[in-house]
Chain A
Amino acid sequence: MIIDITAQGGFGGITAAAMKKTIDVDQQPRQMQQELCDAFEPRELQRLTRTPCPDCADRLTYRITVTEGQENPQVFTLREDQLPPEMLDLIDQM
């Protein structure tokens, strides 16, 4: 599974200031693999996109692309506040 993450927005509104990350889950240590698979499971991401965002001033928006094997990539757009803190910590570690 390949995970691509890009972010935009934020207080600065500067796209270049936000991060771009690509991670090949299969190349990670076993424990990290499990954490990533659980967190970026497409059904879970789909559920998170439905979380309401009452006040999103200056928040980042993430575009997460998950590619599993030969399947078509699945793309999710999620605002920062729609992601649980543990998942944001995971993104920061990646």
Chain B
Amino acid sequence: MTRQDIIKPENLVYEKPRLLNENHMHYCPGCSHGVVHRIIAELIEEMGLEEKAIGVAPVGCAVFAYKYIDIDWIEAAHGRAPAIATAAKRLNPENLVFTYQGDGDLAAIGTCETIHAANRGENIAIIFINNGIYGMTGGQMAPTTLEGMKTSTTPYGRRVDLNGYPLRITDIAAQLDGTCYVTRQAVHTPAAVRKAKAAIRQAFKNSMEGRGTSFVEIVSTCSSGWKMTPEAANKWMEEHMFEKYPLGELKNTVK
């Protein structure tokens, strides 16, 4: 069996989704943003929602999401994605509307919009990339930064007496009556990627069916901000992030 015998169209089992276009993504090598972009593009393609999907991009490293996934996008001011998504979904109830936000965007400057959109039960999906740091601006502390974690603004590690506690905003979202589906996932292994994809599929389905707000946290790495190789960052995430941000479903009223 030679390589030429195997590489034939009828044997193809995976290739990059067409909706993830040919533009070179600016993300650092190994960044979780890339994996989640790819999953979103795969899902929109598989669910046949190419003409119906409206994404709302954040301020943060994912600010250029619209350059990479070929659907309609709106670029929101920092933290305001859930407010923009509220308008988009109310005006276009037949469309899939989702936000894509980092932890600085969603859990710091955008806390108000996040909580109120979820509490109103807007029929949107919120995809929340929690890498515990402000990646884009140079690795400053975020509300989600772990206790003791070194960042450029906590060079000796986050101190709770000075900086407060890491914020588990997903747990708060699960307490709100407006959310129908709240889950925490990761994308560091093939199995985790499969589960994260199933979760985002559920969230997109909920938006299409008008079930309320879906909230999918993806515990992520920022190898540049954390100053580690992508491989070491995945390990560090498993050993440290998952303790504070355990994976699994927090709420599901749609079953």
Say if A and B assemble together.
no
